[in-house]
Amino acid sequence: MISIALYKPDIPQNTASILRLCACLGLKTQIIEPCGFNLNDSRFKRVVMDYIYQSSIIKHKNFEEFLNKNKKSRVILMSTKAKKSLFKFKFKNNDVILLGRESKGVPEQIHKDLKNRLKIPMSPASRSFNVAVAASISASEALRQIKKF
């Protein structure tokens, strides 16, 4: 099944929204540490509510461990720097959608190392989507394509 991976998330409310999204859609959430907050953070708990108990969370100590544990999956980076639209990409059942930090995205080396980099088309006057919104759009498109909706 499709999963959502978060690279060193640093805003608890966004991470909580993504966990809630994944719980509602039956997706796994992968967190690449270090996380910029504690999962006991009150801002996190206020948004995630009881969905934390329906969530499947996999934590990775670092990006290398994340890649090693996902060898059999394609890791797809969502990035405003990408050229290809996610609507022109063919998702597969075990793809991992990777989203960067709210404050810094992912390091340039990750952009270079990952073959699959996609963007969500948006108005040229806009800078970027909120990471939770980007997770929702990309997960919905991936699930639509693999006929889970």
State the CATH number of the domain containing residue 127: 3.40.1280.10
Element (H, E) at 18: helix 12-25
Nearest to 78 by CA among 110, 35, 37: 110
Mean pLDDT of 4-26: 92
Provide the whole-model pTM.
Answer: 0.92
Check: CB of residue 37 under 8 Å from CB of residue 44: yes
Q: Does position 46 have pLDDT exceeding 80, yes or no?
A: no
**Mean pLDDT: which of 17-21, 34-38, 75-79 is highest?**
75-79
Q: pLDDT by residue (tens digit) across 92-130?
A: 999 999 999 988 899 999 999 999 999 999 999 998 899
Residue 93: count other Cβ atoms within 10 Å of its Cβ.
13
Domain of 133, in residue numbers: 3-145
33 confidence band (pLDDT: 50, 70, 90): very high
The total number of structural domains that make up the chain:
1
Q: Does residue 43 or residue 89 have the better pLDDT?
A: 89
